[in-house]
Structure formats: C-alpha cells, structure tokens
C-alpha cells in the first residue's frame, strides 16, 4: 500500500467510525434491542471501503474532508443493512459475519430484518440532514444512492439475480451483470458521490463514471477471489468468478479491470492519485 493511502486510512477510518457512532441511536435508547442490533452489525469492524472511496474522491477536489464524513457514513449504513439482510436464513443463510455471529444469530430473525430496514431508513434520514452542501446537490446524491441500492441495475437487482443463479449455470456476461449490480453500483456511487460533492466538473464526473464502472466490477471479482481462497461460497454453488473462470484467470481479470480503471482516470492527473493507489491496494489483496 502506498504511504499516502496508508496515512489516508489512518486518518479517515477512525473519523468514519466516530461519525457512525454518533449517527447511530444509542444502545440505551428505547427500543433497546433494535439499537443494539444496528450498532452490533455496523460498528467496530469492516474495512469501510465504500466511505473511504467516497472521501478519497472528495479529497481530489477539496482539502478539507470533514464535510463529506456524514454522507460517506450514510453509504456505509446502506452497506451494513445489505449485509444483515443477505445473511438471513431465507437469503445466503450465513451464521458468521466479520468473525462474529451474524445479526439474526445474535438477535433473532425478526430483529435482524428490522435492523436492516432501520439502517436503510437511517441512511436516507442522515443524507437528508447534510448541511454542508446545497439542497439540490444532496437530493441528487439521494437519488443516485437510491438507484445504486435499488432494483434497476442496483444492489437489490444484483441480489435477486444472484439468488436466481444459485445452482444454475450462468454465462460470463450474466455473471458480470450480477456483479456490476450487486456490488459495482454502490461502490461506483460512493466514488461518484464524493467527487460530485467535492465539486468535480461535468467532464471530470464523466471520467469518474467510467472509473466507477471498472472499479465496481473489479471489487466484486476480488471479493469472489478472497472468498474462494477462504473456502467460502463453494458449497452454495454461488455464481462467482473463480467458479466460472478459475482462480488464476479471475486474478488476471481483476488486475486488467484495475489497470483499465487507472487508465480511465489518468486525465485527472495528480488529483486522481489516491484513487489510483486505491486500485493497487484492492488489486494486491488477491495475492
């Protein structure tokens, strides 16, 4: 990892953690159980990739990154909700998440469903309370994130296609489509949101949209590879890149996507350096 990215993580991750801590209702607030579950599944773990990408894109245009923390944390709330619901027995049925019992194992299924609902609701409430940007811009961000989390090319679309693909053969195109929707859309929207609120020009935003497209897909391919190395997903016959293309070819695909992402963003010059470092960091995780 570059020294710059390392220093960036050291400063930004604790700030994201603090912001999440403040945005989430206290464990002592009634009803206690739901707030415990929301905090249990959100705080203290997770690499905060999405909010960090959002902050990194923001800092390409602004020196002060504090104003973006609230929005970046809202993206993490959406991610956290999606993990809780993905783990449910009716979905991926995962007992473990980030090394501890998943939300429904710890709090029961009803509370886990409601905790996911609550984190999603809170994310939009938090976004609506952003005072650091014009109301027009905040509305556009809500619209973009809603779309990225939704059923038309967004996260829920990806999850549905993923469920439908279980145990059935999928083509390379289908799998790419699942990954772009399930993970790529929200990863991409995190970067786009940071750059947009940072004040990127329309032409830069277009460049960044192309970057988002590549890094979003690459991120899920890498996630597949890490799962395969860790022995996950095989028994569920999940549609993954290693299952379809093998481990080595998946690494090559991820690497090429990341090189492509770096190439696409090169017109940004030094502005884009932290995002380039991010690509290298994610790419290197598979080795």
In the complex, minimum distance from the CB of residue 141 to a copy of itself, in angstroms, rounded to a whole number: 8
Stretch that binds a copy of itself, among 2-10, 25-33, 188-196, 270-278 (CB under 8 A): 25-33
Tell me which residue has tokens 């940071």.
194
Question: Minimum CB separation from a copy of itself for residue 24, in Å?
Answer: 10
- Asked if residue 33 binds a copy of itself (CB under 8 A), the reply is yes
Residue 199 CB, nearest distance to a copy of itself (Å)? 17
Give every CB contact of residue 196 below 8 A, 6+ residues apart in sequence. Answer: 137, 140, 141, 144, 205
- Nearer of residues 147 and 232 to a copy of itself, judged by Cβ: 147
Q: What's phi and psi for 95, nearest 5 deg?
A: -85, -20
Which residue number, 60 or 185, has a Cβ lying nearer to a copy of itself? 185
Task: Please identify which residue in the block is written with the tokens 């890094």.
Answer: 215
Interactions with a copy of itself, residue window 72-131 (CB under 8 A): 81, 85, 88, 90-91, 108-111, 113-114, 116-118, 120-122, 124-125, 127-129
Neighbours of 197 (CB within 10 A): 25
Is residue 60 within 8 Å of residue 68, measured between CB atoms? no
Task: Fill in the per-residue mask, 35 to 54: x = in contact with a copy of itself (CB under 8 A), - = not in contact.
Answer: x--x----------------
- Given the rule CB under 8 A, which of 14-22, 23-31, 53-61, 196-204 is the region that contacts a copy of itself? 23-31
For residues 141-170, which are near a copy of itself according to CB under 8 A?
142-143, 146-147, 149-152, 154, 156-157, 159-161, 163-164
Helix (H, G, I), strand (E, B) or coil at 266: helix
Q: Does 197 bind a copy of itself (CB under 8 A)?
A: no
DSSP string, 185-238: HHHHHHHHHHHHHHT--HHHHHHHHHHHHHHHHHHHHHHHHHHHHTT-STTTT-
Residue with tokens 């779309």: 147
Q: Is 203 in the site for a copy of itself (CB under 8 A)?
A: no
Q: Which has the closest alpha carbon to 81: 116, 38, 35, 124?
A: 116
Contact mark string toward a copy of itself, 229..268, x via CB under 8 A: ----------------------------------------
Cα within 13 Å of Cα(153), Cβ side: 11
Residue (56 or 138) nearer to a copy of itself, CB: 138
Least distance (Å) between residue 151 CB and a copy of itself? 5
Instruction: Give CA separation, 47 vs 4, 53, 98, 114, in Å.
Output: 17, 11, 10, 24
- At 41, list the tokens: 């599944």
Contact positions vs a copy of itself (CB under 8 A): 25, 29-31, 33-35, 38, 81, 85, 88, 90-91, 108-111, 113-114, 116-118, 120-122, 124-125, 127-129, 134-136, 138-140, 142-143, 146-147, 149-152, 154, 156-157, 159-161, 163-164
């Amino acid at each position: 990892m570059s020294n710059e990215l390392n220093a960036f993580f050291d400063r930004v991750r604790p700030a994201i953690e603090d912001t999440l801590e403040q945005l989430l209702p206290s464990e002592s607030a009634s009803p206690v159980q739901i707030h415990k579950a929301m905090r249990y599944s959100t705080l203290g773990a997770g690499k905060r990739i999405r909010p960090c990408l959002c902050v990194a894109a923001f800092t390409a245009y602004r020196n002060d990154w504090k104003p973006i923390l609230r929005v970046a944390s809202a993206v993490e709330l959406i991610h956290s909700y999606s993990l809780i619901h993905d783990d449910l027995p009716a979905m991926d049925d995962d007992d473990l998440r980030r090394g501890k019992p998943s939300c429904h194992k710890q709090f029961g299924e009803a509370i886990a469903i409601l905790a996911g609902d609550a984190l999603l609701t809170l994310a939009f409430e938090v976004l609506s309370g952003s005072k650091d940007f014009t109301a027009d811009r905040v509305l556009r961000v809500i619209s973009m994130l809603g779309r990225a989390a939704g059923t038309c090319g967004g996260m829920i679309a990806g999850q549905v296609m993923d469920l439908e693909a279980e145990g059935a053969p999928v083509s390379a195109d289908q799998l790419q489509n699942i990954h772009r929707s399930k993970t790529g859309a929200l990863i991409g929207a995190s970067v786009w949101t940071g750059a947009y609120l940072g004040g990127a020009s329309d032409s830069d935003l277009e460049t960044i949209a192309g970057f988002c497209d590549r890094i979003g897909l690459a991120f899920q391919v890498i996630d597949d590879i890490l799962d395969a190395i860790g022995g996950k997903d095989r028994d569920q016959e999940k549609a993954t890149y290693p299952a379809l293309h093998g481990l080595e070819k998946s690494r090559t695909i991820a690497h090429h996507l990341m090189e492509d992402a770096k190439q696409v963003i090169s017109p940004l010059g030094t502005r884009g350096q932290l995002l380039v470092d991010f690509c290298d960091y994610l790419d290197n995780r598979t080795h």
